[in-house]
Amino acid sequence: MALNVKEENGFKYVDEGTGQVLMLLHGLFGALSNWEDVVSRFAKHFRVVIPMLPIYEMPIKEAGLEGLQKFVEDFVALKKLDHMIILGNSLGGHVGLLYTLHNSTKVDKLLLTGSSGLFENTMGGSYPRRGSYDYVRERVAYTFYDPLVASRELVDEVFETTKSIPKCMRIVAIAKSAQRNNLANDLPRIGVPTLLVWGLNDTITPPSVAYEFNRLIPNSELHFIDKCCHAPMMEHPEKFNEIVEEFLAPVAK
């Protein structure tokens, strides 16, 4: 489905459906296309909101996890959101964790898939190299179990981003901030029911990371999807949505 991007007070976002708010937070190289199947399925029963994180536009001094957390807080305040379910992939999961830790009364449930916050192998072991299409294609494919999921459109989008020096500077700053921002000591304070959905073949945040999240977050449950890497909602959307639906039942029925 084509997602309609709205703009208000400097925020770009998607707002589809009605009901309890399901807020989706994308990763470092995330795009709206990452969430199309999730929106298509859950906008029938939820108000699905996707704020576009200003990863490439935020002031370089603010390019980090704290800046992204504040962005989400400002967006939630603008839209007067409450009783939210937050679903974050990769960096978006990390931002969702930070938001929940600092705004626990606003969050009813938390869902993480391939989240950073404990350990992540950024871009498959290195930062984006400007000007090399083959390198970008290889790194994007590295995030999927089936390299064919890394479509030409997706590779082109990442390549265009990495051609910009200012954007690359922000990507590197945010990636380093994520690596520094280890939440191991804070995760036991997550009080809301938490779902962990992980690719069994995740090369960026390996299964051992998922087990550690499960151990540290008190009220959490962990599900693995086989033949799946870092973005289960893209590689196995039907299976991913089934697991999420079961966790959100009976609202999602």
Digit-by-digit pLDDT tens for the chain (253 residues) are: 678 999 999 999 999 999 999 999 998 877 788 899 999 999 999 999 999 999 988 999 899 999 999 999 999 999 999 999 999 999 999 999 999 999 999 999 999 999 999 987 654 334 455 567 887 888 788 888 988 888 888 888 888 877 888 888 888 899 889 989 999 999 999 999 999 999 999 999 999 999 999 999 999 999 999 999 999 999 999 999 999 999 998 665 5
Q: Where are the alpha helices (DSSP H) in 52-164?
A: 65-79, 91-102, 133-142, 152-162
147 preceded by a cis bond (ω within 30 of 0): no
In which residue are the tokens 């998922």 written?
A: 210
Q: Which helix (H) or strand (E) holds 180?
A: helix 165-180
| pLDDT computed for residue 165 by the predictor | 83
Contact 48, 22 (CB under 8 A): yes
> What are the backbone dihedrals phi and psi of residue 31, each rounded to the nearest 5 degrees, phi first?
-135, 160
Angle at 153 between CA 115 and CA 172, to 5 degrees: 45
Task: Provide the phi-psi class of 192: left if phi over 0, else alpha when psi is between -120 and 50, else beta.
Answer: beta
Task: Give the per-residue pLDDT at 1.
Answer: 63
Question: How many angstroms separate the CA atoms of 253 and 250, rounded?
Answer: 5
pTM metric for this prediction:
0.91
CB atoms within 10 A of CB 180: 9
Contact (CB, 8 A) for 67 and 44: no
- 203's enclosing H/E stretch is none
Calculate Rg over the CA atoms of the chain.
Answer: 17
- Say what the pLDDT of residue 137 is: 82
pLDDT of residue 152: 85
The pLDDT, as a whole number, for residue 197 is 98
Residue 208: which H helix or E strand, with range? helix 207-216
Q: Contact 83/45 with Cβ under 8 angstroms?
A: no
Q: Which of 109, 82, 94 is nearest to 55 (CA)?
A: 94
Calpha distance 249→165 (Å, rounded): 45
249 contact partners, CB below 8 Å, separation of at least 6: none
Place of tokens 């989008």: 157
Length of the chain: 253
Domain over 5-120+182-248 is classified CATH 3.40.50.10810? no
- In the chain, where are the structural domains located? 5-120+182-248
